[in-house]
Amino acid sequence: GAVVSQHPSRVICKSGTSVKIECRSLDFQATTMFWYRQFPKKSLMLMATSNEGSKATYEQGVEKDKFLINHASLTLSTLTVTSAHPEDSSFYICSARGFLHNEQFFGPGTRLTVL
Amino acid sequence: KQEVTQIPAALSVPEGENLVLNCSFTDSAIYNLQWFRQDPGKGLTSLLLIQSSQREQTSGRLNASLDKSSGRSTLYIAASQPGDSATYLCAVGDSGNTPLVFGKGTRLSVIA
């Protein structure tokens, strides 16, 4: 199957700093990427849908000024957590939808810990 | 609004047993259905993708079926192994850019 990478895989930062997470589709182009967060032993929670070249669509309750999403190319989307606080600590996962059959592929996730 | 339900929520079986995981969805107007596997602290691995026009897909010891009209899919795992222990997620998608709708998953434990 197609490969989606995320970088970094793990990040620890101080409260108040900003953290950028990259999501790349390595061997296919994706017009649409999705960002999720997941708390321990809980289901995935969709944060936003990111379309290349346009503004992201955020789910209800997700602060767009706090979670900045940029989808500048067909293979790269970034999520920036601005002024991170301990409650932002979570597992963030991205996915990319390929053209073929609309299949969706997921990245390995990024573990964010805010001290 | 599409809703996806997975039963059971958790399952524990001895090694070697064949097992079935169930997924149901409320709106039969789907474009495709995907089964994923998630190991603790990891991302999701796509196992099988079934298009709405298909009845089943097979990959190794895995077989997924789809009955679109009744809103059901099953994932059959043959000769289960301890390495199959993970959470299995079912998700349905449409043909546009809307997100997949996920079930809450079935947590599988295969005991050696």
**Interchain proximity B99–A34, CB inside 8 Å:** yes
Min Cα–Cα distance to chain A from B89, Å: 9
Name the DSSP class of A84. -
Q: What's residue A1's pLDDT?
A: 65
Q: A106 contacts in B (CB within 8 Å)?
A: 36, 43-46
Q: Looking at residue B71, what is its pLDDT?
A: 96
Residue A18 is predicted with a pLDDT of: 97
Q: Taking CB atoms and an 8 Å limit, are A46 and B99 in contact across chains?
A: yes
Query: In angstroms, what CA-CA distances link A34 with A1, A71, A83?
Result: 18, 10, 22
C-beta atoms of A93 and B93 within 8 A: no
How do strand A57-58 and strand A76-81 relate by DSSP bridges? Answer: unpaired
In whole angstroms, what is the distance from residue A114 CA to residue B22 CA? 38
| pLDDT tens for each residue of A96-109 | 987 776 788 999 99
Q: CA gyration radius for chain A? A: 13
Burial of residue A99 (number of CB atoms within 10 Å: 0-12, 13-18, 19+): exposed
B81 to chain A, closest Cα gap in Å: 22
Residue window 33-92, chain B: list those with CB within 8 Å of chain A.
34, 36, 41-46, 49, 51, 89, 91
Q: Which residues of chain B have pLDDT under 50?
A: none
pLDDT, tens digit (0-9, with 9 covering 90-100), for A5-60: 999 999 999 999 999 999 999 988 888 999 999 988 888 999 999 988 888 999 99
Question: What is the C-alpha to C-alpha distance for residues B68 and B57, in angstroms, rounded to an integer?
Answer: 14
Between chains, do B104 and A49 touch, taking CB under 8 Å as contact?
Answer: no
